[in-house]
């Protein structure tokens, strides 16, 4: 188990800066997720940590050891690739045992450890299958077992669930998390699926165009986005452009419609000034149908209703702005209906632009 | 500052990518190619500018370019206007010979062609061969790619048969068909009375004919791959926009297929230029008046040294094919090759033909196939013939030719030599070829990898006789001298000349195995060397085997170095030299015994090429293509 630190890590392909001065600290035993849209540099970051790409700038530390120039095979990382990368000419046993054979582990112990790890990933008795005789989910588990069996210092996952169907994905997610916690191995997990990231991670780094936009727990990232990208990438919300008119004890923003709302900065680090452009964000569940003291009020007309079982999502507008509002599933409501909705100032977030 | 930083980054990158193992792979490849290709070819160029006293001089170049035997074009001034005059063009396109036979007067039209001097002859032959091969090859490819009719797959495979052609075999077989009392005249003049006179094709036209039948499959393969790689939706779009028929062909299909066709055509041009086997078979006619034959014919001075004249001719040949290669280069690099052979991922749409058109297509294809397989049929018949006068078929058959060949001490020694040299060369080719292919496939981001790619594919376009000349220039009088033992130079020559077959097969295998399969091995702790042997090699084993087989069989049929070395040292001569020797200096048996040798080689080649392709199945459609 190690902590991992990158300092200004940078990787360039031609004129694409795939990883752009990334400085991160990943703690002992942490399940750390890199979340971002496709092409933002997640895989490249992971590959640089594993030693499969050379860092163009910056350093990588495992605990206090600088491993930036260490060859991949000495780093002791276990990596699970997006395509699983099982060796087609070896059966399941040989795929898993390969890393142990390299470490010159005695035959008996190899057999025992492969057996153990197969049990761990629930593939007992599959030793003699070849990769193409396995389903996607099983291949994924073999890839995981192969990474786990060598007791890696760090586990690296590159979208390991993206090729599985939705139901299996949710199951495997929990499974991965359980294994990682049991074994206590530091893990870096890469995904573009924000729901997956939210449900599995201790902390998340949101990435865009090679840069880290925000690091925090799933809750922090959802509740206190630092910038527009994170606010829009994570979860749903109502976004309204405005301009700061008061900033001090209270924060007031004038919307494009002329209306002035009371808000709070989206993140403790966010500093605003009067005259700044700001984006007002309100999560769907922050709206109420009951007015409260100092609540911001909006009058909207519903134009679409999605019934989700445990809630209903309303899409509504007031000619200028669009709203997404979550309401009680029992509420009787119709398309075309006019509504007054309220948002408490503490959930009316002003995102700095 | 910026430069220094760039340089140190480059060094870091190189250190990152290249471990001791990669370095040793790179170094053995570079060292072998430097010693046996670059230095020899360099010497050909340098030596052709030596004067007799050793200094720099244009003497030989000038001598050759002013000798009408080689080059009859002259730039002249007429009233101060420059114009090109032709001097010393000899002969005519055809001659009519009449002679009396028992049955009366018989007329033979001899198609001999003009002799325009050695250098223009070579270019003209190459041009016509390319033209005919391209028209024939492309037409066939187009039919097979775009239309569906019963038996089209079988016919397509059969039309590739000439690729199996071994040196001399095509020419020996076809010669028996096209001479005055040959099979075609027997068939069309004597028996069917379709001709008003006999036709004999000889000299340069015969070379063009043989080469066309030999090389059209190269254009066909390249065109076919290009045509079936054309995204059918592109054509559909054009049809939707109203294009049809010839317009569709001209504006959409042809431009998309052009790179493939061009690649094939340019390769044919070079192969025609460097072909030595065919002119040798037609020795004694104008077929002799081409560069390769002239180099071969005067390579040794009476003192056993390499003549300057031949060296300069080799330099000229090298420069011409070099210029053409600049054109081909875009296509023959491994990367391009991989893209070409990855074609066929589309399910090409094939149209059905009306019965009448189908019939016409059959007549055309069968006609082509008749001529294309004539050499093979001819050589087979010759190999088993006891006697073959002016009749359609030999008058009696026998196995004596084979027995004679196999019991001939020198012939069996030559066969043995060929087997041994080719096996050893194959070993080298596998080691070097796998190394080179691995570097090109896996270290694409390193600067200079493109040059390595070029280095290991270029031998396809380097005239063998120039390599042979260069090897002699470099190693005569050294411990590797062919006069001491023929083995070193032959093995070296086979290795550098035939390695592209191995490299390509291995490269296509590597491109089909995901690089992450190597990488995951590193992450679990395997060094790159270990990964190479325990992960990469097992996955590409079939490709290595297939590539090795192809390189082996093409080494067995190597001509240029083989006959030059053989002439210098009979004891260590390979099989191809023996065929050559029997053709012209043999006593009894005439062409029967060389045909028997050719038949053996052809059979071996058939087995190996079919075997290699079976190993790879669909994995490499264009593998046998040169
Ligand atoms: N080997 C490579 N060569 C060139 N560009 C690359 C290479 N690998 C990745 N890139 C580029 O770097 C960027 C980040 O890619 P990647 O790390 O794969 O993103 P992600 O995993 O987040 O989808 C992309 O623009 C991609 O095109
Ligand atoms: Mg990725």
Rounded CA gap, A296 and B495, in Å? 83
Residue B522 · residue B472 · CB < 8 Å: no
Helix axis angle for B355-384 and B118-146, nearest 10°, is 130
Rounded CA gap, A311 and A334, in Å? 15
Residue A209 DSSP symbol:
T
Fold annotation for B403-616:
MetI-like fold (1.10.3720)
Please write the tens of the pLDDT for every residue from A36-75: 999 999 999 999 999 999 999 999 999 999 999 999 999 9
**ipTM of the modeled complex:** 0.90
**Is residue A170 less than 8 Å (CB to CB) from chain B?**
no
Percent of chain A scoring above 70 in pLDDT: 100
Domain ranges across chain B:
92-395, 403-616
Rounded CA gap, B452 and B442, in Å? 13
According to DSSP, the β-strands at A349-352 and A260-265 are parallel
Radius of gyration of chain B (CA): 26
Tell whether the model's pLDDT for residue B625 goes beyond 60. Answer: no
Please write the tens of the pLDDT for every residue from A306-352: 999 899 999 999 888 899 999 998 888 899 999 999 999 999 999 99
* pLDDT for the residue B327: 65
Residue with the nearest Cα to atom 13 of ligand 1? A18
Residue B510 · residue B569 · CB < 8 Å: no
Rounded CA gap, B502 and B473, in Å? 27
Cα A96 to chain centroid distance, Å, stands at: 28
Domain ranges across chain A:
4-223, 236-352
Distance from CA of A93 to the nearest CA of B (A): 15
The finding on whether A16 has its CB within 6 A of some atom of ligand 1 is yes
Rounded CA gap, A2 and A294, in Å? 49
Cβ contacts of residue B453 below 8 Å, gap of 6+?
A: B333, B334, B335, B440
Rounded CA gap, A264 and A345, in Å? 7
**How far, in Å, is the centroid of ligand 2 from the Cα of B263?**
36
Average pLDDT of the residues of chain B = 83
User: In B35-91, at which residue ranges do the beta strands (DSSP E only) sit?
Assistant: 73-78, 81-86
Collect all residues of chain B within an 8 Å Cβ-Cβ radius of residue A142: none
Cβ contacts of residue B281 below 8 Å, gap of 6+?
A: B168, B171, B172, B175, B210, B287, B583
Radius of gyration of chain A (CA): 24
Task: Spell out the SS3 assignment of B110-157.
Answer: EECCCECCHHHHHHHHHHHHHHHHHHHHHHHHHHHHHEECCCHHHHHH
Say if the Cβ atoms of B524 and A99 lie within 8 Å. yes
The tokens describing B434, both together, are: 């796998």
Identify the architecture of domain A4-223 in CATH.
Answer: 3-Layer(aba) Sandwich (3.40)
Tell whether the model's pLDDT for residue B91 goes beyond 90. Answer: no
Helix axis angle for A107-120 and A92-102, nearest 10°, is 130
Assigned CATH class of B92-395: mainly alpha
The finding on whether A37 has its CB within 6 A of some atom of ligand 1 is no
**How many other C-beta atoms lie within 10 A of the C-beta of residue B375?**
28
The finding on whether A39 has its CB within 6 A of some atom of ligand 1 is yes
Contacts within 8 Å (CB) and 24+ apart, B53-59: none
The tokens describing A349, both together, are: 């977030």
The residue that leads in pLDDT, A151 or B258, is A151
The enclosing H or E element of B210 equals helix B203-229
Band (pLDDT 50/70/90 cuts) for residue B235 is low
Please write the tens of the pLDDT for every residue from B344-366: 444 556 777 788 888 888 888 88
Of B12, B13, B525, the CB nearest to A73: B525
* pLDDT for the residue B349: 65
Tell whether the model's pLDDT for residue B38 goes beyond 70. Answer: yes
Tell whether the model's pLDDT for residue A187 goes beyond 80. Answer: yes
Rounded CA gap, B41 and B539, in Å? 36
Picking from B332, B287, B271, B174, the residue whose alpha carbon sits closest to that of residue B560 is B271
Please write the tens of the pLDDT for every residue from B393-424: 777 788 888 888 888 888 889 999 999 999 99
Assigned CATH class of A236-352: mainly beta
The tokens describing B19, both together, are: 């471990």
Distance from CA of A154 to the nearest CA of B (A): 11
Do B403-616 and B92-395 have the same topology in CATH? yes
The pTM is what? 0.86
Rounded CA gap, A117 and A328, in Å? 46
**Is residue A72 less than 8 Å (CB to CB) from chain B?**
yes
Rounded CA gap, B161 and B605, in Å? 11
Query: Tokens 């149209």 correspond to what residue?
Result: B351
Say if the Cβ atoms of B526 and A73 lie within 8 Å. yes
């Amino acid at each position: 188990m190690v902590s991992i630190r990158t300092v200004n890590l940078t990787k360039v392909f031609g004129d694409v800066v795939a990883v752009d001065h990334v400085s991160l600290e990943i703690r002992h035993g942490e399940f750390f997720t890199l979340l971002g849209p496709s092409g933002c540099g997640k895989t490249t970051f992971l590959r640089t940590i594993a030693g499969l790409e050379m860092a163009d700038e910056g350093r990588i530390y495992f605990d206090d050891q600088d491993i930036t120039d260490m060859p991949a095979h000495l780093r002791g990382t276990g990596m699970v690739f997006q395509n699983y990368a099982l060796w087609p000419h070896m059966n399941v046993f040989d795929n898993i045992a390969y890393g142990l054979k390299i470490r010159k582990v005695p035959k008996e112990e190899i057999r025992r450890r492969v057996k153990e790890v197969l049990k761990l990933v629930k593939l007992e008795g599959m030793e003699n299958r070849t990769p193409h005789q396995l389903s996607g989910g099983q291949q994924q588990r073999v890839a995981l077992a192969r990474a786990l069996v060598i007791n890696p210092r760090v586990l690296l996952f590159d979208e390991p669930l993206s090729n599985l169907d939705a139901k299996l994905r949710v199951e495997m997610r929990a499974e991965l998390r359980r294994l990682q916690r049991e074994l206590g191995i530091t893990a870096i997990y890469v995904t573009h699926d924000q729901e997956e990231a939210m449900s599995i991670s201790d902390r998340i780094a949101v990435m865009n165009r090679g840069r880290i936009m925000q690091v925090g727990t799933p809750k922090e990232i959802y509740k206190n986005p630092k910038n527009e990208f994170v606010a829009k990438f994570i979860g749903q919300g109502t976004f309204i452009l405005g301009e700061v008119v008061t900033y001090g004890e209270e924060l007031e923003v004038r919307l494009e419609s002329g209306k002035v709302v009371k808000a709070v900065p989206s993140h403790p680090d966010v500093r605003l000034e009067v005259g700044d452009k700001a984006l007002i964000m309100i999560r769907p569940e922050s709206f109420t149908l009951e007015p409260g003291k100092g609540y911001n009020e909006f009058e909207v007309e519903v134009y679409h209703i999605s019934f989700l079982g445990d809630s209903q999502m309303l899409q509504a507008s007031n000619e200028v702005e669009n709203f997404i509002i979550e309401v009680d599933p029992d509420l009787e409501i119709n398309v075309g209906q006019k509504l007054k909705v309220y948002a408490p100032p503490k959930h009316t977030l002003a995102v700095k632009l | 500052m910026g430069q220094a930083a760039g340089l140190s980054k480059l060094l870091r990158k190189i250190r990152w990518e290249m471990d001791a193992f990669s370095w040793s792979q790179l170094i053995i490849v570079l060292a072998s190619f430097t010693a046996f290709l670059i230095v020899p070819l360099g010497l050909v160029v340098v030596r052709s500018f030596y004067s007799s006293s050793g200094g720099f001089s244009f003497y030989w170049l000038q001598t050759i370019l002013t000798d009408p035997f080689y080059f009859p074009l002259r730039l002249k001034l007429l009233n101060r206007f420059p114009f090109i005059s032709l001097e010393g063009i000899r002969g005519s396109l055809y001659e009519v010979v009449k002679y009396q036979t028992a049955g009366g007067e018989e007329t033979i039209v001899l198609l001999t062609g003009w002799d325009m001097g050695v250098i223009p002859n070579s270019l003209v032959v190459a041009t016509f061969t390319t033209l005919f091969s391209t028209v024939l090859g492309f037409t066939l490819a187009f039919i097979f790619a775009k239309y569906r009719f019963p038996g089209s797959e079988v016919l397509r495979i059969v039309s590739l048969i000439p690729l199996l052609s071994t040196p001399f075999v095509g020419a020996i077989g076809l010669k028996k068909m096209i001479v005055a009392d040959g099979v075609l005249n027997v068939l069309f003049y004597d028996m069917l009375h379709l001709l008003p006179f006999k036709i004999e094709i000889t000299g340069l036209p015969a070379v063009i004919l043989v080469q066309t039948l030999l090389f059209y499959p190269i254009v066909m393969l390249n065109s076919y791959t290009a045509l079936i790689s054309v995204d059918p939706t592109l054509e559909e779009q054009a049809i939707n926009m109203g294009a049809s028929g010839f317009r569709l062909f001209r504006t959409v299909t042809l431009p998309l297929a052009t790179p493939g066709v061009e690649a094939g055509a340019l390769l044919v041009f070079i192969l025609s230029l460097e072909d030595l086997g065919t002119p040798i078979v037609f020795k004694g006619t104008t077929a002799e008046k081409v560069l390769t034959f002239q180099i071969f014919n005067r390579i040794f001075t009476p003192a056993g040294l390499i003549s300057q004249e031949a060296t300069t001719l080799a330099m000229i040949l090298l420069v011409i094919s070099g210029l053409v290669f600049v054109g081909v280069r875009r296509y023959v690099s491994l990367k391009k090759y991989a893209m070409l052979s990855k074609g066929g991922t589309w399910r090409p749409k094939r149209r059905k033909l009306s019965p009448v058109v189908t019939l016409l297509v059959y007549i055309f294809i069968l006609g082509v196939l008749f001529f294309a397989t004539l050499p093979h049929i001819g050589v087979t018949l010759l190999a088993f013939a006891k006697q073959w006068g002016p009749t359609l078929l030999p008058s009696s058959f026998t196995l004596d030719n084979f027995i004679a060949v196999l019991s001939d001490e020198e012939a069996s020694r030559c066969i043995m030599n060929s087997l041994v040299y080719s096996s050893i060369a194959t070993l080298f080719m596998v080691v070097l070829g796998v190394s080179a292919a691995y570097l090109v496939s896996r270290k694409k981001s390193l600067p200079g990898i493109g040059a390595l790619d070029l280095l290991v594919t270029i031998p396809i376009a380097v005239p063998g006789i120039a390599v042979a000349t260069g090897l002699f220039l470099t190693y005569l009088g050294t411990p590797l001298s062919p006069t001491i033992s023929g083995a070193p130079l032959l093995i070296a020559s086979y290795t550098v000349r035939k390695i592209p077959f191995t490299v390509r097969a291995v490269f296509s295998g590597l491109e089909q195995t995901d690089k992450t399969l190597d990488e995951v091995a590193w992450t679990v702790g395997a060094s790159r060397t270990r990964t190479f042997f325990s992960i990469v090699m097992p996955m590409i084993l079939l490709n290595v085997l297939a590539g090795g087989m192809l390189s082996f069989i093409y080494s067995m049929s190597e001509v240029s170095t083989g006959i030059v070395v053989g002439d210098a040292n009979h004891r260590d001569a390979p099989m191809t030299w023996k065929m050559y020797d029997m053709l012209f200096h043999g006593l009894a048996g005439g062409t029967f015994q060389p045909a028997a040798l050719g038949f053996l080689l052809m059979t071996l080649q058939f087995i190996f090429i079919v075997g290699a392709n079976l190993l790879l199945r669909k994995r490499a459609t264009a593998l046998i293509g040169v």
